[in-house]
Amino acid sequence: MSVMLTDSQRAVVEDQGGSLLVSAAAGSGKTRVLVDRLFRRVLGEEQANMDDFLIITYTRAAAAELRERIAQELGRRMAEDPGDRHLQRQLLLVYQTDIKTIDSFCTALLRENVHLLDLGEQGGLTADFRVLDEGEAELLRQRVLPRVLESFYTGMTPGQTQLADCFGFGRDDRGLEELVLELHSKVQSHAYPHRWLEEQRQSWASLPEDGGETEFGRALLARLAGGRFSIERRMMLDVSVRREGHSVFTEQALNDAVVTKGAVARVLDLEVTGDRAVISSFAGDGLIVSTPTGSTAYSMAAGGPIVEPTAENIIITPICGHSLHAKPFVLGAGRAVGVRLAPGGKKTAYLSVDGGRAFRIQPGDWVECRRSRQVTRLVKLTGRSFYERINQKLGKA
């Protein structure tokens, strides 16, 4: 039974011009229109053959379904006119017609013309090649990555040293590894990844000194000028170390203050207080006192909670606590947090504020962290929520 087409569908079927781009929602009859458009060429004045056409789909399942729909339509028309020799021929050719995904088409094209390729020093390509699947590709990336980083660390330039320091965070180079893999994945969307990377390198090398004159700077300034921004206030911490009643160290933290053991693998005996009341005493590798802004950094990696960055709290997170009661705590912003290395011992620890240079702590020293009168104001230029950003970073969106 013939299906009635809408005016828009009929216009697509009957169009005989050049390129035609059709936008349609799911379930709107795209496959039906494509089949009718194909048969108009095959059974019309042109009398084309099925295998004269290349039909590309997104998935193999869609290709199989489309071939089946074409065969069913041929069968229906053969039943109406069994003696049509042209239709009989198409029934044989439908299974030779190129109805496939774009990667299948490209693979077949390469395989059929591999003898024409001249890859020079890159080596040859034989007709029995196959496309690497994602699982194998991931194994190869993980195998090659250490060699790439080893080569990177050998004879580093000042710029490379700055890059390593920025993403190494003084602890390990997992951040740098993730950056390399992420960039590698994204550049694969370009037809010529190496050429694109070289173009970007040249573009960045020729950037004007004034950031506002760059393409990105102009776009950001336009948003500011149009009032399309918001300002977030972020809580900060005043961090100090008191030794025998005297202050020997002061600093401000936007993210966190971290007390850790030295290079010698010995656990620390720490006492943690809130307004001089003991919160916890435990042995472990250290302690993180963070702001809500810093809750998604080292604190989260150590098992601390994720806190919305505009909140006002102080988060205490033990690092590898050697007891079951060494748990994270979320305190009110008005609390004064104290951390003390057990007096009378010979162990030393180090204090680092926002990943800065380490300050050596002696037994009996008090590390004090309290809410600062200073706040950090951040200009927010996008409408993305904190939850969207954190889910993306965690690989959930």
Per-residue model confidence as pLDDT tens digits over 181-218: 989 999 988 989 999 999 988 888 888 888 888 888 88
pLDDT at 10 over 80: yes
Q: Mean pLDDT across the stretch 150-173?
A: 80
Q: What pLDDT digit, counting tens, does each position of 213-262 carry?
A: 888 888 889 989 998 899 999 999 999 999 988 999 999 999 999 999 87
Residue 291: its pLDDT value, please?
97
Structure tokens at 18: 């050049």
Residue 266: its pLDDT value, please?
76
CA-CA-CA-CA torsion for 87, 90, 95, 98, nearest 10 degrees? -140
Can you list the alpha helix ranges (DSSP code H) found in the chain?
Answer: 7-14, 30-43, 60-80, 85-93, 102-112, 134-153, 158-168, 174-187, 193-205, 215-225, 298-301, 386-393
Residue 379 Cα to chain centre, angstroms: 23
pLDDT at 1 over 50: no
Q: How far apart are CA 310 and CA 312, in angstroms?
A: 7
Q: How far apart are CA 312 and CA 314, in angstroms?
A: 7
* Backbone dihedral angles phi then psi of residue 157, each to the nearest 5 degrees: -80, 165
Longest dimension (CA), the chain: 107
pTM, full prediction: 0.55
Q: What pLDDT digit, counting tens, does each position of 74-121 carry?
A: 888 889 888 889 888 988 898 888 899 988 888 888 888 888 877 666
Q: Mean pLDDT across the stretch 124-144?
A: 86
Q: Mean pLDDT across the stretch 30-43?
A: 87
* Backbone dihedral angles phi then psi of residue 154, each to the nearest 5 degrees: -85, 115
Most trustworthy range by pLDDT among 260-269, 376-385, 388-397: 376-385
Residue 337: its pLDDT value, please?
96
Q: What pLDDT digit, counting tens, does each position of 275-288 carry?
A: 989 999 999 999 99
Residue ranges and CATH numbers for the domains of the chain are 7-16+28-103 (3.40.50.300), 137-188 (no CATH), 233-380 (2.60.200.30)
Q: What is the DSSP string of 76-134?
A: HHHHH-TT-HHHHHHHHHTTTSEEEEHHHHHHHHHHHTGGG---GGG----TT--PPPH
Residue 329: its pLDDT value, please?
95
pLDDT at 171 over 60: no
Of 2-6, 152-156, 178-182, 266-270, where does mean pLDDT reach its minimum?
2-6
- DSSP-based three-state secondary structure for 143: helix
For residue 364, count other CB atoms closer than 10 A to its CB.
14
Of 17-26, 161-170, 265-274, where does mean pLDDT reach its minimum?
161-170
The residue type at 258: V
Q: What pLDDT digit, counting tens, does each position of 331-380 carry?
A: 999 999 999 987 776 778 899 999 888 999 988 899 999 999 999 999 98
